[in-house]
Structures are given as structure tokens and as C-alpha cells.
Amino acid sequence: DIQSLLQRVQTLEGSLSACIAAEESSAISNRESTASRCDEESDPSHNSDSPPVHKQRSDSEIASQAKSRQRELSQYTCRWGPNWYFNGIAMSSEAGLEWISQRTGQPVSPADFSIPIEELSAGLPGDSLPLTALCELPDKTVVLDVLKAYIESSFRLAYPVFDEIMFKRQVEKAYEPQKGPHYSTAQVSANLCVFSMLALKSHLNAPRICLPEDEDIYAAKAHYLLESIKSDGTYPTLEAAIVLQILSMLRGHWHGASSYGLIAFLIIRELGGTRDLRPIIVGMPDIEAFRNWQHMQLLFWISFIIDKNVALFTGRPPYLAEIYCDLAVPVNYLPWEEFQSCAHIIDRETGTLKALPPKPSQFFRAHLPGDLEISPLKEEVYKRLFSRAANRAKNNQLLQHIREIDELIEDWRLSFREEYRPVLSVSDETLPNEAGGDVPIMIRRTALQLEYLHLMTVTHTTVRKCKDATSENSPNLHSVVHSSFDISLEASRSIIRCLKFLIDRVGQGAFQ
């Protein structure tokens, strides 16, 4: 009848529409990448009753893909630090990865816990470029403009890598006409020094200066030139190595910073930067020798401070060990107690210095990238908690080391006046307010707070190295371990509050 005919027509139309939709879906599916199809296969919400479209991969295939992805990321990744433990198992070790794999049912590799970070040398294919291309300089006036911006920037207060007079000499050397078919080592070193300065431009609050190439290109050029003359034990080569180390650190590429740190360490040792030459230099009438010694003091301390941070983040031993260094305070160091009285010279809008001393090369004072007293303390943390000997320590020895380090940190904390003293539990009452001082003071006070909280987190998180720490057979150990858990957790929460405070009050410029 008519009714059954209509139903039949509707059924045929529905089947035809389904076929057309299926063909369109198949065409789209064929254009999708293999990675997208793999994601669909691994989706747990996928209907298991429907027939599989693709062949399911075996565990060996998944593991092979993970290893391949690890190789792809190995050049551009920053691994998690050495302090990631659970019940005595290092999660970044083979045993730790196997432990994760057993409990998740999925093969894992170190690449799964890596952060993609592009290296400084990724800016250009340096291996295929001739030296003449790597040494190609921009206009000389641009270099001098960047130097002026650096001299007037607050960035220089933390990282006084370049001396104005010494750098201008390198500029003149770099722009000398080339003699013969080859560059001399001194010319390459001068070019290297200039490129490292240009690579800092984005940190100098100088938007009016237009470079012919991106800062990363100059950083990459500096990287390849440094590789070619890294055995050159001169000030320009040392300055470039430290700048590249700073840039790697600011990117979070700690392993790259460690590589540049090794070069800086070798040059510092060759130039005698680990020795206190004050008794010899101060009595000499040679102004040039005094300037070099004064500048070396700053370069040594920048490297020494960064060296300890790199050790804690990577687990690699520090190069500049305290036992082999004379830790004399630089003559032009700006201590915390005097920083507040000098902060008025910094423009809070631009971050540049409003005024300069009459002779910056002789009277300039810098506060450096961290407190001088905490750097030896960080080395002590590494020695007692991360060294090979520390890794062999038993539970009671490890807990004793944590307690001793905690006491050393507390002594350091109490050395500050109460209004500047860092605290474990950060709140609105303990954080600096805008009415309490200028932005540079606010940033430095918060940075001091972050230094303390990071060290507390690193120290007390190490309690996870304890084996069977939560066993009911050792209630005392269980209590001590959980006490450290609580401290590290509170310190971590306070770090988040500090970072949020900086973003809310100061903005992204606080992290330049």
C-alpha cells in the first residue's frame, strides 16, 4: 500500500545519505596524519563494539615510537631535575621509568617528561656557514647604541658582564679591516664579544633600537664562534661564554647553561679569577690592571652564582667548587642594605638608570643575580644531598643532612633585617606592597623570597630518597618524612603566590 511505499522510500533515502556521509568521512580520514589516527586508536572513549579500522599497535611498536620521539627531542629538551624521587626510586632513572610503566600500563621514556626548549645554536646552520659569514657585523653605530642601552639598563645591575671601556676596545678590534685571508683569534674573539652583546638587546628595554637580524641569530653566531675558539683564555671570550650561559638559563635550558659554564670555568681559572689578588692589585699604580681585576671579580661571581643554580637544576657537580676559590666580596658589589638607597636612580617605567656615576667603569656597583651568601650554601646542599656520596647515604644519614642544611638555611635567613627577611608561608602581609618602595626594590625583595623558598623546596623534597619511608614499622621515620613533605609543600605553594604577585603587581617585565 501507499504507507508501506513511503516507509520504503524513507529507508532508501536514509541509506543513501549514510553512504554519502561515509564516503565524505573516508576522504577526510585519508587526509589526516598518522599521528591523528593513532590518537583515535588510543582514545579510551572509542566504541569497542565497532570493528577496528586500523591494526592495533603492539607494545614493542609503541616503545619504538617513544624511543624515536626521544631521539627527536634530545637536542631541544630540558629534562626534569635530579630531585624527582618516590620511595627511594629516582623517577628519571631506568628503574623509575619501569616503575611508572608498570603502574600505568604504558611504555614511557625520558622524552615523555621533557620540556621542549630550542637551543641558542638553532638560529642558523653554523656548520655549513663559512667564518666570513659568521663574522659579518651590523653597522657600528647600532652596536654602540646597544652598548649605551646596556650601560643604562637595570639588567646590568644583575649581570655586569661588560665593562664599557673594555668593550669599546673590542668593538674597535672587531671593525678593523681583515688582514689576509684568515681572521686572527683576537678578531674572532672581538666579533664573538660584539655578537653576545647584541644577543642581549631584548633584555635591555630598548625598543627604539632596530637590529638588522633577530637577537637569536646573533646568539647563534656567538655560539658557533665560541665553539671555534673556546680555548682562547681572554676576557672577551669569557664574557661571551657568560652571556650565552645567562641566555640559556633565562630560557630554562639548564644543560646548555652547564656547557657554557664549563668554558667559563676554564677561562676564569686560566686568568686567575679564582684567587683573591686584592693585596697585589690594590698597591699597584697600574689603572689597567686594577680595572681588569675589578671586572674579573664581577665575572667570577656571576659564574659562581649561576654555577650553583645549574648544579641544583641538573644534578651535575659544580665547576667552581668553593674549596678551590677565594670568595672575596667584589669591591663594587652593592649589598642588600644599600640597594634601597640607590634604587631611586632606576626609572620605574622604563627600567633604565636615571643617572650614572661620573666614571661608571670605576665606580659602578652591581647587586649581581643573587645573594652572595646563599651560593656557598647551595653548594653545601648539592654536596650533602645530591653528590655520589649522598646517593649512598642511608635513611638516617639523609635525614640528618636535611636537618643540618635546614639549620644553615635558617641561619642565613635570620641574617637579614626583619623587614627584608624571607618567610616560609607567604601572605599579603609578608609580600612587599607598592607603597613600600619602588618596583626594583619590590622585585629584588620577592627574588630574595623566591631564593629561600626554592632552596627549602629542594632540600626537603629530597626526603623522597628515603626507602620505605612510609612503612608502619618505622613510625618515627614516617613522622619526620611527612614533616619535610609539609615544609616542601608549603614552600611550593608560597612560590606560586610570589609568582602570581609579581605578575599582578609588576607584569611580565618582572621576568626579563
Per residue in 9-60, pLDDT (tens digit) is 556 556 656 655 555 555 445 444 434 443 444 444 444 434 333 344 444 4
pLDDT band at 508 (very low <50, low <70, confident <90, very high): low
Distances (CA, A) of 493 to 424, 447, 488, 500: 10, 15, 9, 11
Please give the span between the terminal C-alpha atoms of the chain, in angstroms, as a whole number: 81
Total residues belonging to the chain: 512
Its pTM stands at 0.77
Asked whether residue 77 carries a pLDDT value surpassing 50, the answer given is yes
Asked whether residue 474 carries a pLDDT value surpassing 60, the answer given is no
**Smallest Cα–Cα separation from 165: which of 149, 191, 147, 188?**
147
As a whole number of angstroms, the distance between CA 194 and CA 236 comes to 9
Cell of 132: 666570513
Instruction: Please report, rounded to a whole number, the percentage of residues in the chain having pLDDT higher than 70.
Output: 68
**What does the pLDDT read at residue 49?**
39
Per residue in 161-218, pLDDT (tens digit) is 999 999 999 999 999 988 877 889 999 999 999 999 999 999 998 989 999 999 999 9
Per residue in 217-267, pLDDT (tens digit) is 999 999 999 999 999 999 999 999 999 999 999 988 888 999 999 999 999
**What does the pLDDT read at residue 339?**
60
**What does the pLDDT read at residue 139?**
95
**What does the pLDDT read at residue 257?**
93
Asked whether residue 457 carries a pLDDT value surpassing 90, the answer given is yes
